[in-house]
Structure 1
Amino acid sequence: MNWQEGQLIYNGKYKIEKYLGGGGFAVTYQAMHTKLNRRVVIKTPNISVQRDPDYPKYVERFKKEAQMLAMCCADSHPHIVQVFDFFEEDGRYCLEMQYIAGKSLWEYVQTHGALQETDAVKYIRQIGLALVDVHQKGVFHLDVTPPNIMLNFDPKISNSGKAVLIDFGIAGDISPPSTLSRSFGNKAFAPYELTRKGSRHPTVDVYCIAASLYYAVTGQRPTNSFERKYEQEELIQPKQLIPSLSDAVNQGILQGMALEAKDRPQTMQEWLNLLPSLQAGTGFAEIESNSTELILASDVGVDYHKLENLLKAGQWKAADEETTRLMLKIAGREQQGWLDIEDINKFPCTDLRTIDQIWVRCSNGHFGFSVQKRIWQEVGGKRFANINIYITFCQYVGWYKDPEGWLMYEQITFNTKSPEGHLPASLLIWLWQRYDWRFSSGKTIAWWDIITSLSLRLTKCKL
């Protein structure tokens, strides 16, 4: 029997105000804590689930999930729903949680349309930072979707909003088989490995949150991952729907929604590093002192702070030259002054990722090796490319112009008005400036082979 409006439960401690909704496993109610005069949400297993023969097993998992959620919010994280109590009423286990005034991201977009880009990034970043903490505790949400992101704000106060993550995968993880079609109802926001295999990994949450950002900025649900995987449906780039969308946000969404888990950022922190910083209340900024810090990791002990500082200061040419210096040092090719295919194939993934993320982050997604890789693939660059594809690529990034032909390094434009993917440039441009070709184990190496190798290495390094 469902609880009715005005009904008192748990010896009068709570007064049911209204039914909020439910999924495959549980239902939720808005209630009033009569002694504290505090509005709360009560979550309890669905009546239909209680008739399942394995119900006792699900109850035990429900208890464990409640304890897990309590652990996640033990530090009163501002962007994670708080748990207040766990009790039993008429044989039904109940979870008392914080009531979040406002609307879910799903409801808000359905009512008001897509969010402004800066607002969307602000809310999604808040959720991402909460997930960084959650993942460090060994917990995965698995359903970071618009219905589970609550927006709590005062419309009369500018920049007052905050996002809160609710429903920590309880339904999706412990529902009986008969209810799975309902518990996994947000397939447009889930990677196929979750719904097909029940995968539990940070990359699941990365996909879900990136898909939620897609919805927030476009107002449209992204292409179902099953259709992308098994019916070869294409994911429409958000920038095609919203041309004014920044390159950084567009790329952050696409990388986070990579179809295969191995091709996504492997941690939530890595994905957050792809998003642009926010200038308090005004829009995107190149740098923000209190934004998420980049992790300047290196497998070979390289210090990347100088490169980061140069890029933060907008000293693009010095940063380009510093990038070349560091990469030659890492590969042990300082004397030669260039990298061979073998050098690229062995380049440490951690260091390649750090260099790329610094460039992407500090240019708001305009520059970086991963940006160049995307462009290379878009113009048809594959393992076996040719000079025509290479020329098209160079025209796109501004390294080749008619009728002049290939640009010399001195002709490169060192500012953000240059074409997308224009930088880093020196390591690649010097190859045709100084050499027509090189030999590697007796084999002729063309310029485009270097680009191909770099693209393949970026893919292998999940960039």
Structure 2
Amino acid sequence: MTWASGQHLQGGKYTIEHELGEGGFGITYRAKDNYGRLVVIKTLNDQVQRRPDFAKFQQDFINEAIKLAKCSHPHIVQIHEVINEDSLWCIVMEYIDGENLASRVENQGVLSEAEALGYIQQIGEALTVVHNNGLLHRDVKPQNIMLRSGKTEAVLIDFGIAREFSHNLTQTHTGMLSDGFAPIEQYDKRTKRGAYTDVYALAATLYSILTGEVPTIAPIRAINTSLEEPIKINPSISNRVNQAILYGMQIKPENRPQSIEEWLPLIQLPLNANTSSSHLFFLSDLSSPVAMEYHRLNRLLAARNWKEADQQTRTLILCIANRSTEGWLRDKDIDTFPYQDLHIINQLWLEYSNERFGFTVQKRIWENVNKNVDRFGNRVGWRENKSWIKYSNYTFNLNAPEGHLPQFLEVLGFVWKSGWFGAYWDGNLSRLYSFISRLEKCKIK
């Protein structure tokens, strides 16, 4: 059953104007209410209506509609009400005057990075609300993101295959998906699902609106066909955004950010808007010779979780030097520490702290105090009243003194003993000088 132009629903409350589109499950119409306002009415299409399990589809449709109605957000299409017309459940929602992102790119070319990130940020915030309500969208793509006419506002639409989910539990999926935007787990009807499923699709959407191309589909990528980096298609894409897209589109779900909240900070502008591009750090600028993975540190710093980031830095340094068991570095470990990894750690700290923390800051302070250990400790806030403070008394926010983080004394073997670092007062300063010397040799300045 389909509705023709001029057909009245709900006793004349709504009048069908024309069909807007039809998908695998649903069909949408533009209509007017009895006040002359435009609305969209969505219901199950004729093909689904003829299925023997139509009753189950109806029940799923109404259940998800009710849940979606609870997802109130400026960048989620607003549901006005759920109605029943001739035993057919329908969703009445706002009509968005404008075009979708796919049409925008097709008509005007790829978006600037700033414009694209603005829209993706809005949709990411909308998806966070969806996920917090126990739903996955499962069909995020440029065609399902509307742009309000005359405004820089994006709205997420078409929740036709949205489903409830329990994070990482195996559940049955429908077979509907959008090639290029669907992650590998959506190609298996019985698989684990999570917010990371929509993370992939959102990252793929950003890929598409910045390059004008649909990404290589996940099953092809899964058999060792590389995804062309977006920056190679559009060189104006920043390294930061290029890296964030690739991270969000990792084939294995466990290798992606596990939530939208984890991924969004990676595409946000640096805290210091005046920092020139030559001073900005991007994960793709340097590769670790020991194949170290820095995404967790990146996420922690982006989230301003300074304490966990400091602890993760210590873990990384020890792991790189193969000294995790011992818990401290020897002189020879410091002298051979990979300069690329020092740069990566340093630049991450510099960028996310607005150049308040990091090895560069610490080295500058070290030189300003004429390489005096006690004065250095006082300046960076590691000493108070002539005593080295406990780690629990450190300040893990941007109100801390410059150079306060990352704290590297423990990895140099400085052990806390009754109010002082034993290794330091035992006269064993060689590792401290070796570490500063390594920073100098690695041209960290």
Per the normalisation by structure 1, the TM-score is 0.60
Question: Matches of 2:118 and 2:163 in 1, distance apart?
Answer: 27
For 2:234 and 2:187, locate their aligned partners in 1 and report how far apart those are by CA, in whole Å.
Answer: 29
Q: How many Å separate the matches in 1 of 2:97 and 2:347?
A: 36
Alpha-carbon shift at residue 66 of structure 1 (Å): 0.5
CA contact (8 A) 2:139 2:162 kept: no
Separation of aligned partners in 2, 1:112 and 1:283: 31
Amino acid at match of 2:159: F
Check if 1:138 corresponds to 2:129. no
* Alpha-carbon distance in structure 1 between the residues aligned to 2:265 and 2:88: 43
Kept in 2, the 8 Å contact 1:40–1:97? The answer is yes
For 2:30 and 2:350, locate their aligned partners in 1 and report how far apart those are by CA, in whole Å: 44
1:391-449 residue CA offsets vs partner (Å, 9 max, x unmatched): xxxxxxxxxxxxxxxxxxxxxxxxxxxxxxxxx9x999x99x949xxxxxxxxxxxxxx
Match of 1:21 in 2: 21
Q: For residue 9 of structure 1, what is the aligned residue in structure 2? A: 9
1:150 to 139, 146, 153: 146
Partner of 2:402: none
- Tell me if the contact between 2:136 and 2:164 (Cα under 8 Å) persists in the aligned partners: no
Q: Does 1:232 align with 2:209?
A: no
Looking at structure 2, the residues matched to 11 and 283 of structure 1 have their Cα atoms a distance apart, in angstroms, of 62
Report the equivalent of 1:212.
Answer: 205
- Residue 135 of structure 2 is aligned to residue 127 of structure 1: no
SS in 1 for 2:208: helix
2:216 counterpart of 1:223: yes
Pick one of 78, 84, 89 that aligns with 2:80.
Answer: 84
Flag the structure with more relative contact order, 1 or 2, with Cα contacts below 8 A and sequence separation at least 6. 1
Displacement, 1:233? Answer: 1.2
Spell out, residue by residue over 1:145-177, the C-alpha distance to the aligned partner (whole angstroms, 9 max, x if none). Answer: 1111111131xxxxx311101122437889xxx
Partner of 1:254: 246
State which of 185, 191, 197 in structure 2 corresponds to 1:193.
185
CA distance in 2, matches of 1:343, 1:15: 75
Question: How many Å apart are 1:200 and its aligned residue?
Answer: 2.5
Q: Over residues 94-151 of structure 1, what are the superposed CA-to-partner deviations in whole Å (9 max), with x where a residue is unaligned? A: 1001111111112221222211111000000000011122222222111111111111
What's the counterpart of residue 275 of structure 1? Answer: 267
Letter in 2 for 1:137: N
- After superposition, give the CA deviation of every residue in 1:347-367 in whole Å (9 maximum; x if it has no partner): xxxxxxxx8996496399xxx
Q: Distance in 2 between matches of 1:356 and 1:47?
A: 60
Letter in 2 for 1:255: Y
SS in 1 for 2:29: strand
1:383-402 maps to which residues of 2 (within 5 A)? Answer: none
> Is residue 274–residue 357 contact of structure 1 (8 Å, CA) maintained in 2?
no
The correspondence for 1:167, drawn from 139, 158, 161, is 158
CA RMSD after TM alignment: 4.0
SS at match of 1:42: strand
Identity of aligned residues (%): 40
**Which AA in structure 2 matches 1:362?**
Y
Deviation at residue 53 of structure 1 after TM alignment = 0.9
Aligned to 2:63: 64
Q: Give the letter for the 1:340 counterpart.
A: R
Q: How many matched pairs?
A: 318
- In structure 2, C-alpha distance between the alignment counterparts of 1:144 and 1:356, rounded to whole Å: 36
TM-score for the superposition, normalised by structure 2: 0.63
The answer to whether the 8 A contact 2:101-2:145 is kept is yes
Q: Residue 207 of structure 1 contacts residue 257 of structure 1 at CA under 8 Å; is this kept in 2?
A: yes
| Ranges in structure 1 where 5+ consecutive residues have no aligned partner | 155-159, 287-292, 305-322, 346-354, 369-423, 436-463
Taking structure 1 as reference, are residues 173 and 284 closer, same or farther at Cα in structure 2, changes over 3 Å only? farther
Judged with a 3 Å threshold, the aligned counterparts in structure 2 of structure 1 residues 168 and 62 are, in CA distance, closer, same or farther, namely: same
Aligned pairs (5 A) from 1:215-364: 215-229=208-222, 231-277=223-269, 294-297=302-305, 302=307, 327-328=313-314, 340-342=323-325, 359=349, 362=352
Checking the alignment, whether the CA contact within 8 Å between 1:86 and 1:94 is kept in structure 2 is yes
Given the alignment of the two structures, is residue 49 of structure 1 paired with residue 48 of structure 2, yes or no? yes
Paired letter, 1:17? E
Could you say if the C-alpha distance between residues 97 and 360 of structure 1 is closer, same or farther in structure 2, counting changes exceeding 3 Å? farther
Q: Distance in 2 between matches of 1:236 and 1:89?
A: 48
SS at match of 2:82: strand
Work out the CA distance in 2 between the residues paired with 1:207 and 1:274: 14
Separation of aligned partners in 2, 1:357 and 1:193: 34
